[in-house]
Copies of this chain bind each other. A is one copy, B any other.
């Protein structure tokens, strides 16, 4: 039996990135797609609890089972596993995201949250992102990396309750130096809000800002990309700051 590969993303079903990922995945297994019906960037690990969800068959992927979902990327994963698919997938892949999800962006990213949800379900899961936000970006480099990583995940031993955050530099395929296993860089957004007045003179605020790297380590995803490598960060959902437990125990007499 061919492996069953579940695919989702956060840029929506019509994005070039998911199409690029499907093109690679079909060579490795039977592909099943549930993706948001509209862009869901920045949705993080959001789930839809106060509204019902809709699923609709999509004809965007000829010969493949594909659905759009009105919810978030995490909703897509939950619906796929618990409602739509007849057996658990062997692999969940999410992306290819338009724009990198390095460093702390893992928390904001719907693409990576879908993979983290897969890890909670103990299914090997990978989020792929390309360091190019353009809707018509060239995904051939990211496809090359996906073609390397997907069979590793299907054939290699995938540790329990972990997923992978794969980021690909914005370079022609032949210029990508290879893969590097990294840690999440300690880097942050210096946010700014664009404050404007609407046609009625009422203010509105639009999030913008610059990402800045405070992390001088050589072993981070950001540095790997800078050096022309695709980064792989093993990612877990246990957010306990274990090293600080003793510190806080002292607070309690």
List the interface of chain A (C-beta within 8 A of B). 39, 41-50, 52-55, 72, 74-75, 78-79, 81-83, 104, 106-108, 113, 116, 120-121, 152, 156-157, 159, 161-162, 164, 178-184, 186, 188, 191-193, 195-196, 202-207, 209, 232-242, 244-245, 247-249, 251-252
Contact = CB atoms under 8 A, between A and B. Distances in A.
A42 B53 contact: no
Contact of A54 (B79, B113, B204, B207): B204
Contact of A181 (B179, B205, B235, B245): B245
B181 A252 contact: yes
B181 A107 contact: no
B240 A235 contact: yes
Contacts of A42: 46-50
Contacts of A192: 82
A120 B108 contact: no
B83 A195 contact: yes
A164 B244 CA distance: 10
Contacts of A104: 120, 237
Chain A interface, DSSP helix/strand/loop, else mixed: mixed
A78 B184 contact: no
Given A159-B244, A205-B55, A244-B162, A179 B252 contact: yes
A203 B248 CA distance: 49
Contacts of A209: 82
A52 B235 contact: no
B239 A83 contact: no
Contacts of A156: 251
A60 B215 CA distance: 42
A247 B53 contact: no
A47 B204 CA distance: 15
B235 A239 contact: yes
B54 A205 contact: yes
Nearest to A119: B241
Contact of A234 (B193, B207, B244): B244
